[in-house]
């Protein structure tokens, strides 16, 4: 047996034979054309046919993957209808007197290369969209049929990469799993795989001779097992059956309220790290997003994201979640999260240093830009703002001043915005101890148990040597949580938990009895927690 490791895009176990997807990209020859106008007409006719195909794909994607994922093909239509891409093809035909197939290929490669060189990982993945459109246009110009790959039985589909068009055209009933050599978690193929609930791995270094091999895909561990022996196969078959039965039971909880036997409702929301994670929230029937970590927009970037860039991402998440709550935590860099666009001096103890709201208040211009983007996105959904690492009333006063300036500037710029609920992360002992005072200034509390635990116990939670001493459910931490909930309710505001402790089922019943209003956890923990909460006999 051979074991290959990759990166998981969607969990689950798949067992079956591998079929290698053959790349449908033929070599395009450069041909001199005597009649450039005729070639431009050929291009326009092919463009119209390609748009018709994309409309059909859009309808298919809406049915199989949902309206949000189907938007991919609306974007493809827009790129063919207008913009620099299609104009670049026309210009090449006019100036070089070349055939439309060659002009389209050259323009596609140019724009794809441009996207690949961008710093932003999401923008890098748009190179695949350009190549997908180009491949479609060239195929229509050449008079070839769509999709020459034929799948006759359920298989694990292995490919160099898959375009969004390839993915959505596949017969879902014939796909046990995706295994790609390339790709990223931000690619549209990855998004579609998640939306269609198909186990998927990316960045797996397989060779083409795997065609026809029996294999196991473990989407949880990110592994591909080639030619397993009978004992190993039987072991994974049992795991797969158990997982399927467990999921069937959990799926029956979708659409049901998260309510105790005593009738008390707990909001069950999700923590996410980027816009792409919304798929997992919806798939797991999350009642909203309790923690949207906005720092993903900054990590790995040399330049700060613009207000417009942030607005588009927040807006997209808000629209996709509809009426469901989305709480955006403002930038929380520092400690273990560093970004080149926010150069920070080396600190002796970064966990205690310039991080979270302290960093934002040190850089008011960048903070104001983020606040403006969130306020504008609030027009498209049910958004709230949450501030991290609060320790004093004074900090809230400074935040309020910057927020007022942000609103004033938006008014002057003629941009619409919405006044939003504001809350704070209670993750320092200081905030917990003065939570009675802070509760009078905000609309909600979200208790960040990860940092609250490490600060209360004076232990670095990432120090492996302290693992035997580190106690997440320490009585001191639980007492602080109880205090925060009580002070919130006295002031008439709600309190939730968004740290790892919120998903720890050993403490769920205790939190419910403390009076917690909301738990925000990773999407995969939502249904198991709902099952548990519905079984609680509340005292």
Of the three residues 104, 124, 142, the one that is the final residue of a domain is 142
Q: 319 or 127: which carries more pLDDT confidence? A: 319
Given CA atoms 166, 61, 289, 125 in this order, what sign does their dihedral have? positive
Q: Are residues 409 and 300 in the same domain?
A: yes
Q: What are phi and psi of 179, to 5 degrees?
A: -135, 115
Catalytic residue among 58, 76, 360, 498: 498
Q: Say which DSSP state 303 is in.
A: S
Q: Say which residue the tokens 């961008």 belong to.
A: 118
Q: What are phi and psi of 57, to 5 degrees?
A: -65, -40
Catalytic residue among 58, 76, 188, 360: 188
Q: Are residues 288 and 433 in the same domain?
A: yes
Q: What's 102's domain CATH number?
A: 1.10.274.10
Active site residue 474: no
Of the given ranges (65-74, 299-308, 363-372, 374-383), which has the lowest mean pLDDT? 65-74
Q: Are residues 91 and 133 in the same domain?
A: yes
- What is the DSSP annotation of 409-449? HHHHTT------EEEEEE-SHHHHHTHHHHTTT-SEEEE-H
The pLDDT, as a whole number, for residue 3 is 94
- Coil, helix or strand for 535? coil
Q: What's 209's domain CATH number?
A: 3.50.30.10
**What is the value of pTM for the model shown?**
0.62
Residue 248 lies in a domain: no
CB atoms within 10 A of CB 180: 26
Of the three residues 166, 201, 232, the one that is the final residue of a domain is 232
Of the three residues 142, 173, 199, the one that is the final residue of a domain is 142
Q: Do strands 288-293 and 325-329 pair parallel, antiparallel, or not at all (unpaired)?
A: parallel
Residue 302 lies in a domain: yes
Q: Are residues 311 and 397 in the same domain?
A: yes
Residues of 363-379 as b/e, b for ≥16 C-beta within 10 angstroms? bbebbbbbbbbbbbbbe
pLDDT in tens, 367-393: 999 999 999 999 999 999 999 999 999
- Going from the C-alpha of 371 to that of each of 388, 389, 394, 417, 426, the distances in angstroms are 14, 17, 19, 11, 20
Q: Are residues 285 and 366 in the same domain?
A: yes
Mean pLDDT comparison of 31-35, 247-251, 457-461, highest-scoring range? 31-35
Of the given ranges (36-50, 76-90, 385-399, 462-476), which has the lowest mean pLDDT? 462-476
Q: Are residues 271 and 406 in the same domain?
A: yes
pLDDT in tens, 97-156: 999 999 999 998 898 888 887 765 666 667 878 888 898 899 899 887 655 557 888 999
Give the count of alpha carbons within 13 A of 517, CB side only: 16
Widest Cα–Cα separation across the chain:
86
Q: Are residues 512 and 382 in the same domain?
A: yes
In the chain, count of helices (H) and strands (E)?
20, 16
Question: Is 289 a residue whose pLDDT tops 90?
Answer: yes
Q: Are residues 107 and 200 in the same domain?
A: no
Question: Which residues form the domain of 167?
Answer: 2-23+148-232
Q: Domain total for the chain?
A: 3
* Contact of 25 with 128, CB cutoff 8 Å: no
Q: Which of 18, 22, 4 is nearest to 213 (CA)?
A: 18
Residue 28 lies in a domain: no
């Amino acid at each position: 047996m051979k074991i290959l490791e990759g990166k998981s895009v969607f969990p689950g176990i798949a067992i079956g034979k591998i079929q290698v997807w053959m790349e449908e990209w033929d070599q395009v020859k450069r041909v001199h054309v005597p009649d450039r106008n005729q070639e431009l007409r050929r291009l326009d006719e092919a463009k119209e046919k390609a748009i018709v195909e994309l409309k059909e794909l859009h309808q298919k994607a809406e049915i199989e993957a949902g309206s949000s994922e189907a938007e991919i093909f609306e974007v493809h239509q827009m790129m063919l209808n207008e913009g620099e891409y299609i104009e670049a093809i026309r210009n090449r035909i006019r100036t070089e007197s070349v055939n439309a197939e060659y002009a389209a290929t050259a323009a596609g490669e140019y724009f794809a290369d441009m996207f690949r060189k961008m710093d932003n990982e999401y923008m890098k993945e748009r190179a695949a969209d350009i190549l997908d459109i180009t491949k479609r246009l060239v195929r229509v110009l050449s008079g070839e049929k769509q999709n020459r790959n034929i799948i006759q039985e359920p298989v694990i589909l292995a490919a160099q990469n898959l375009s969004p068009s390839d993915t959505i055209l596949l017969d879902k009933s014939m796909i046990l799993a995706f295994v790609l050599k390339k790709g990223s978690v931000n690619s549209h193929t990855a998004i579609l795989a998640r939306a269609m609930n198909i186990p998927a791995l990316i960045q797996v270094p397989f060779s083409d001779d795997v065609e026809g091999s029996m294999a196991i895909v473990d989407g949880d561990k990110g592994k591909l097992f080639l030619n397993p022996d009978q004992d190993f196969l039987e072991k994974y078959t049992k795991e797969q059956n158990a997982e399927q039965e467990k999921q069937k039971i959990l799926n029956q909880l979708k659409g049901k309220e998260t309510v105790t036997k005593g009738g008390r409702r707990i909001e069950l929301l999700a923590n996410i790290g980027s816009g792409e994670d919304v798929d997992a929230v919806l798939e797991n029937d999350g009642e909203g997003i309790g923690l949207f970590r906005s720092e993903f927009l900054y990590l790995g970037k040399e330049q700060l994201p613009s207000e417009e860039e942030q607005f588009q991402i927040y807006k997209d998440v808000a629209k996709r979640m509809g009426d469901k709550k989305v709480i955006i935590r403002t930038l929380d860099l520092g400690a273990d999260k560093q970004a080149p666009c926010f150069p920070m001096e080396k600190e002796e103890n970064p966990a205690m240093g310039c991080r979270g709201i302290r960093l934002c208040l040190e850089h008011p211009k960048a903070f104001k830009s983020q606040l403006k983007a969130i306020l504008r996105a609030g027009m498209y959904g049910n958004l709230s703002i949450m501030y991290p690492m609060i320790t004093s009333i004074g900090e809230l006063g400074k935040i309020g001043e910057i927020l007022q300036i942000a609103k004033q500037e938006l008014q002057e710029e003629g941009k619409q915005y919405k006044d939003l609920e504001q809350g704070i992360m209670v993750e320092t002992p200081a905030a917990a101890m003065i939570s009675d005072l802070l509760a009078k200034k905000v609309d909600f509390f979200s208790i960040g148990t990860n940092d609250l635990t490490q600060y209360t116990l004076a232990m670095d939670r990432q120090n492996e040597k302290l693992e035997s001493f580190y106690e997440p459910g320490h009585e001191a931490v639980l007492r602080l949580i109880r205090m925060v909930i009580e002070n919130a309710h006295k002031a008439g505001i709600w309190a939730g938990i968004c740290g790892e402790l919120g998903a720890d089922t050993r403490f769920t019943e205790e939190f419910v009895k403390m009076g917690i209003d909301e738990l925000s956890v990773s999407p995969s923990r939502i249904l198991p927690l709902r099952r548990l909460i519905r079984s609680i006999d509340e005292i």
